[in-house]
Amino acid sequence: MNKYNCPTCQNKTELSKKNIFRPFCSKRCQNRDLGSWAEEKYSIAENDLNLPLESKNIYNDDSGN
């Protein structure tokens, strides 16, 4: 039997096709991980939103000349 620790709660979890929440032990742990990942992605997307705006201003200034 393949046993490993759930990445979220570190509980001993069975690695089998029965476990639909792999690599997590439960839906709760899966959601927790997805939640933190989505939060991280959102903050990155927010930073990305500011970058093109800045480069666009530079581009406009250049082409308007």
Residues at the contact surface with Zn ion, assessed by CB under 5 A: 6, 8-9, 11, 25, 29
Question: Nearest approach, Cβ of 30 to Zn ion (angstroms)?
Answer: 8
Question: Whose Cβ is closer to Zn ion: residue 27's or residue 41's?
Answer: 27
CB atoms under 10 Å from CB of 9, counted, come to 13
- Report the C-alpha gap between 10 and 58 in whole angstroms: 49
Question: Nearest approach, Cβ of 22 to Zn ion (angstroms)?
Answer: 11
Cα 22 to the center of its chain, rounded Å: 16
Question: Nearest approach, Cβ of 21 to Zn ion (angstroms)?
Answer: 8
